[in-house]
Amino acid sequence: LIDPIQTKILKIIPHCEKPNNKLLSQLQELSNVLDAIKKQGTGFLHTVEYDFDKKPSEAKTGWTDEGFETAHELAKECHTLLKKLKNVDDAFITATIDLVLPFAKAFRQTYLSEGYVSFDGLLTLARDLLQKKEYRSVREKLKNDFRTMLVDEFQDTDPVQYEIVLFLSEALGHYSTDARKVMLEQGKLFIVGDPKQSIYAFRRADIEAYEYVVKQVCGEGEPLKLQENFRSHSGIIEAVNQLFDGRIMVEQSGLQPQYIPIHANRPERHPFQKVEMVLVSDKEGEELKANEAREAEAEWIARWITQHVNHEAIEDVLAEDGIRKLGYRDVALLLRAFTQVRSYVEAFKRYGIPYIVEGEKYFYSTQEILDFINLLRVIENPHDLIAMVGVLRSPIVGLTDREIYELRIHHSLDYRKDIKGEIVGDYGIKRKDMKSYPPQSPVSKEGVENLSADVKKITESFYAFLRERHARAGIIPVSQLIAEILDSTHIAEITASAWHGEQKLANLWKLHWMACDMEGSASVSLKTFLDRIKVRIREAREEGECPLSDETLDVVKILTIHKSKGLEFPVVILGNLHGEVRNDQEVLDGAVFDWSTSTTGIVVGRGDQQVRNLQSIMIEKKLNDRSWEEEKRVLYVAMTRAKERLVLTGSLKDDDKSYMGLIAQSLRDAAGVTLGDEVFTNPDNTKVNENVSPSPNPSHQGRGTSEESASWEKNKTYEGNKTDERNKTSERNKTGEGDKAGTEKFPLPLRERVRG
């Protein structure tokens, strides 16, 4: 931990020409403190007066620009390490383990005796069954039963799974309780994996352990390199190789595998442009703020799709001439995370681009799901005013804020009462017990009369509906309740008729399927169902939109890079490449085991009260280094999803902790290759073809034009910096005016009311 930092300090000190520079003095002082720790141990930090929160000096005099940045980051790294070292107390950690271990063992035993086991527990118990001497006969039988084993996607497996595979692949007549020392039977184990695509550290995939096991397997066999790529056009493959080989991916043992170049092996009929980079900046070429860059980028992507879909040709071996027009279904927008996906969704809506969002946390934030969950909350609890207001102002009812305010001041938001304020039904509660409900102010006759006839009619119908569903919610399954609501109201029709309605309706039925799934294991009340949904939302559980049954639907796919692994798309747009990639892993509180060193890092408490062992600092350092190297592989996976066309978008920032920073640095390192022109700015100063405008009505899909502006011609691709020479003579497709935005109240989608 200390020697590498001291070596860096010794290397950077000569780069300062001013001996009394404050930052230089800080580095020298830090080096002396590190020397003392090496001699006296971490206890030294409790005897010395040192400001561990001291910020590195900003004094640049005497430093070169590059030297100052390196020295400044090095000082920050030293301060962080010293603060962690000060918290090291191995004796306390040992005492804590002795205190907690008996409880942990008793808890685990009780957990197992009651028939419970976690997924991790299943793996661990299976490994223990093969490892422990008392079960040797079981292992011998399984070794005989499985004569050959093939493991695919080996780079995505975790160390416990490695051990299981190694134990089962052991040579007959041999026995070792240490998976690292297993003698493998020749010809029994065949593994397939691409370490360049190892991107699942959050599932405990361990690139260091992977390399160890591969070396172990190759000791009893030989490696076969598969370098042919049958998916991507040679232009994409060449660009990827030039960017990654020895530049973005540099071999480091235990962190980054050797980059083995891939070769395109597919017939190619047309030399289309394949890789394109577009940068976002303001009109002066200055760096934009993150949100401004994202909005500008989303606008440009929507324009690009509108300009190219139905105007550009792509290769298709199934087509009569081997080519066909580009469709929406051929385009995929890949993002590292969905934190800011709404910016892109809103841009697609403005341009009338059909889309589907696949995966992660987006499902629970879609408006149709929010509205329907509010409806269920109101049915379950008549006193949930927040949910009631949400339902009343949603398309389900369609009241204005002013009308809802009138209901509120006239005390008419309690659906247990009719519009005149009289209790209707007892909801299974005796009238004498109604006082247990929160008291409700009386509704004045004058207040009721002041409500418009339309509001009274809608409210009376909706409240009657809620009373009926509230009564049934206690006697029928949640899944049946949801199905009845969708079948007996116009909610399904209203949802389906909205923009992107087919997907929205599929999402509502997915909520029904989720209820069915919960009911499969035990009886679930409406309250329990809503509580579980609340937990999923709070814990940001990954949940995708419902996949549409027809995969040939002509829609653009929006998905995360991790979701795209194993898939392919004719056109891939990589968005938000300027987003900072986080790799600040911390072991907060708890324990983390490192398989390669067989050590456990333990941290107890937080902040000033934090205590840890030395191993936790070393493991954190390893996790941080791995995380940054893994992000490079995530970028590789993203770029190799493209078959015909790859578009890279984002802004160029000074720091390099982003995908765009990695690409830019690689391009700088590649002789004769430069970045393309900055072809667009923020939405108000867009340089791309101004003839393409948002769709006048979301119900009409925008089509745009293939006519290009002069600035578009200047846009360069990575492949040879060739200019875009697409046809500029085709006429713009006309879109209809569309229905004028209606100002009438959205009708209450209840068949009972409509029939009346």
Which residues, in sequence order, are bridge partners of residue 229?
A: 264
- The DSSP code for 671 is T
pLDDT, position 248: 93
What is the rounded distance in angstroms from the CA atom of residue 328 to the CA atom of residue 701?
A: 11
Q: Where does a domain end: 486, 519, 544?
A: 544
The answer to whether residues 256 and 346 belong to one domain is no
Q: What gap in Å lies between CA 317 and CA 194, rounded to an integer? A: 28
16 and 45 in a single domain? The answer is yes
438 and 368 housed in the same domain: yes
The helix-helix angle for 478-488 and 526-538 (nearest 10°) equals: 90
Gap between the Cα atoms of 464 and 128, Å rounded: 60
| Contact residues for 76 (Cβ-Cβ < 8 A; gap 6+) | 56
Structure-token match 């009386």, residue found: 442
**179 belongs to a structural domain:** yes
Q: Is residue 721 included in any domain, yes or no?
A: no
- Do 523 and 577 lie in one domain? The reply is no
Residues 49 and 174 in one domain: no
Asked, for residue 696, whether it belongs to a domain, the answer is yes
In a domain, 625, yes or no: no
- Residues 308 and 216 reside in one and the same domain: no
Residue 190 belongs to domain spanning: 117-226
Residue 730 has a pLDDT of 33
- The bridge status of strand 599-604 relative to strand 590-594 is antiparallel
In which element (H, E) is residue 278 found? Answer: strand 275-280
Question: What confidence score (pLDDT) does residue 444 get?
Answer: 43
Last residue within a domain, chosen from 496, 521, 544: 544
CATH number at residue 334: 3.40.50.300
Per-residue model confidence (pLDDT) at position 547: 53
Give pLDDT, residue 124: 93
Asked if the structure places residue 605 within a domain, the reply is no
534 in the same domain as 402: yes
Q: At what angle do helices 501-519 and 478-488 cross, to 10 degrees?
A: 150
Q: Is residue 74 part of a domain?
A: yes
Phi, psi of 591 (to 5 degrees): -135, 145
Q: Are residues 257 and 282 in the same domain?
A: no
Residue 747 lies in a domain: no
Of the ranges 178-192, 481-495, 646-660, the best mean pLDDT one? 178-192
Looking at the domain assignment, is residue 564 inside a domain?
yes
Q: Of the ranges 1-5, 268-272, 374-378, 488-492, which is most confident? A: 374-378
Lowest-pLDDT range of 311-320, 425-434, 586-595, 621-630: 425-434
pLDDT for 106: 95
pLDDT of residue 736: 33
- 244 shares a domain with 310: no
* Residue 13: DSSP 8-state: G
Reduced to 3 states (helix: H, G, I; strand: E, B; else coil), residue 403 is helix
**Residues 254 and 333 both lie in one domain:** no
Residues 49-89: pLDDT tens digits?
Answer: 777 778 888 988 888 887 898 899 899 889 888 888 888 89
Instruction: Kindly state whether residues 322 and 372 are assigned to the same domain.
Output: no
Q: Which helix (H) or strand (E) holds 344?
A: helix 341-350
How far apart are alpha carbons 42 and 40 in whole angstroms? 7
| Residue 386: pLDDT over 60 | yes
Domain total for the chain? 5
Q: Which residues pair with 149 in a beta bridge?
A: 189
The CATH number of residue 514's host domain is 1.10.486.10
Distance from C-alpha of 658 to C-alpha of 294, rounded to nearest angstrom: 14
Q: How much is the mean pLDDT over the chain? A: 78
| Overall residue count recorded for the chain in this entry | 756
Between β-strands 323-325 and 313-315, what pairing exists: parallel, antiparallel or unpaired? antiparallel
Q: Which residues of 604-613 are buried (b: 16+ CB within 10 A; e: fewer)?
A: beeeeebbbb
Tens digit of each residue's pLDDT (9 = 90 or more) over 737-748? 333 233 222 233
Beta-carbon contacts of residue 308 (< 8 Å; ≥ 6 apart): 326, 571, 706
Kindly state the average pLDDT of the residues 143-168.
94
Q: Where are the alpha helices (DSSP H) in 87-195?
A: 90-113, 119-131, 136-145, 159-168
Percent with pLDDT over 70 in the chain? 77
421 and 514: one domain?
A: yes
Strand-strand pairing, 642-651 and 355-358: unpaired
